[in-house]
Amino acid sequence: MNLPGALDRLFRLLLRAYPGDFSETFGDEMRSVFLAGAGDASAEGRLGRFFLRELADAPRGLVRAHWYGWRQKWQTGIRALRAAASPADLPPLPPDGQASWTQAILECGLFLITALLLTWGTYAPPAGLAPGWQRDPVFLGRIVTLLALPVFLIGLARGLPRWAYPAGGLVLAHTALGAVPGVWVFLAANLFAGLLLLLVALAAHPDPFRLPTTVRRIGRSLVTDPTRLSFALYGTLPLVILAAFDNGFTDSRTPYLALAAASMVAGALVYTRAGGRGVRIGALLLGTAGAVWASWLDVTAFSAGLAGWTAFLQPGPAEAAWLLRLWLTWCALLLAPTLPSLARPARRI
């Protein structure tokens, strides 16, 4: 039996399991090293041990080679996507609330309107407003659709300026809360598959195509400042206030819902005018804290007025734990978009 020839054929067969580019670049060198090692091992009478060791090391080498190949393709796709989405030929970003009070009021418009609607519907509800509207998903869905969806769609058409983010967050949050969980898994899987196919197409194309101008403007808006995504999540605060004050609408006497609405508006206003990223995130966190914990003041104040009612359940650890969980959840959501870029300054593209 021609042992060197058999080993050579066996190693050539093993090389077929490696990625094509990797085999073309390193195949001859790997084959030479393997045959030289096999020859030395055969001369020393330890060819079987050498072959078993190479066979045991082969899976690890295959994993590394395929990981390297996929990483190179991913990085190539990312670079091509950046080239296709380059905003170099786009006009400058539109001014935001830091530049003018007009823009600040525009960016806070959704919070001002929802605060007025919450206080109006609680303290002086119109005759046609059905009791329990705060927990009616159909009614709330109509309000969100009429109030926020047009703003979000107009914002998308204009490249997603900062004033469109709260409306988009409110629309997506209400849709997510009312959707079947399996639907969102299906949509997320399709979104990931579409992104992967886009990166593969860009990596395979020698001259990456240019994405539409509107898409590139949206991409630039998203990467300009990660706190914009936090501002979008802050747009869901009207729904958070409704959840926190779930038991606070029976007497329409509480002043604390107005306090929660005012905290929400104040946090948004400080965010729009602040210059530093830390100050903006701090404003959103404080606005969320004021909106959520005002409901605890409402519960404790109401229970204090019923001191002689032994049948009334006083607020206890369960209510506090529920509010704490609600508050911490939204704080984590607000912080999540900024975590990958804490070490990098905000970019003006």
Model confidence pLDDT, tens digit, residues 58-77: 778 788 887 887 787 777 76
Same domain, residue pair 162 and 240: yes
Among residues 84, 110, 131, the one where a domain terminates is 84
Distance CA 340, CA 260 (A): 30
Same domain, residue pair 116 and 36: no
Q: How confident is the model at residue 346 (pLDDT cuts 50, 70, 90)?
A: very low
pLDDT at 310: 43
Same domain, residue pair 314 and 224: yes
For the beta carbon of residue 300, count every other beta carbon within 10 angstroms: 14
Q: Which two tokens stand for residue 88?
A: 């170099």
Q: How confident is the model at residue 312 (pLDDT cuts 50, 70, 90)?
A: very low
Among residues 59, 84, 109, the one where a domain terminates is 84
Is residue 201 situated within a structural domain? no
With beta carbons less than 8 A apart as the criterion, state whether 231 and 283 touch. Answer: no
Is residue 195 situated within a structural domain? no
Same domain, residue pair 274 and 134: yes
Same domain, residue pair 29 and 127: no
pLDDT at 347: 47
Would you say residue 283 has pLDDT above 90? Answer: yes
Same domain, residue pair 164 and 61: no
H or E element that contains 83: helix 47-84
Distance CA 135, CA 308 (A): 30
Same domain, residue pair 123 and 252: yes
Distance CA 86, CA 238 (A): 36
Distance of CA 337 to the CA centre of its chain: 6
Same domain, residue pair 124 and 258: yes
Q: Which two tokens stand for residue 329?
A: 């959840």
Is residue 13 situated within a structural domain? yes
Higher pLDDT, residue 331 or 11: 331
Is residue 202 situated within a structural domain? no
Would you say residue 169 has pLDDT above 80? Answer: yes
Is residue 28 situated within a structural domain? yes
Same domain, residue pair 146 and 277: yes
Q: How confident is the model at residue 233 (pLDDT cuts 50, 70, 90)?
A: very high
Q: Determine the 3-state secondary structure of 199 from DSSP.
A: helix
Q: What is the DSSP string of 37-61?
A: HHHHHHHTT-HHHHHHHHHHHHHHH
216-231 burial, b at 16+ Cβ within 10 Å, e below that, comes to bbbbbbeebbbbbbbb
Is residue 61 situated within a structural domain? yes
Is residue 92 situated within a structural domain? no
Total domains, the chain: 2
pLDDT in tens, 143-155: 888 999 999 999 9
Same domain, residue pair 43 and 113: no
Same domain, residue pair 78 and 109: no
Q: Domain limits at 287? A: 101-179+213-341
Look-up of token digits 């009614």: 139
Is residue 186 situated within a structural domain? no
Q: Which two tokens stand for residue 206?
A: 């020698």
Cα dihedral 296/301/305/308 (nearest 10): 50
In 3D space, the residue among 222, 94, 82 whose CA is nearest the CA of residue 158 turns out to be 94
Distance CA 244, CA 291 (A): 8
Same domain, residue pair 112 and 18: no
Distance CA 53, CA 59 (A): 11
Distance CA 169, CA 232 (A): 4
Among residues 26, 55, 84, the one where a domain terminates is 84
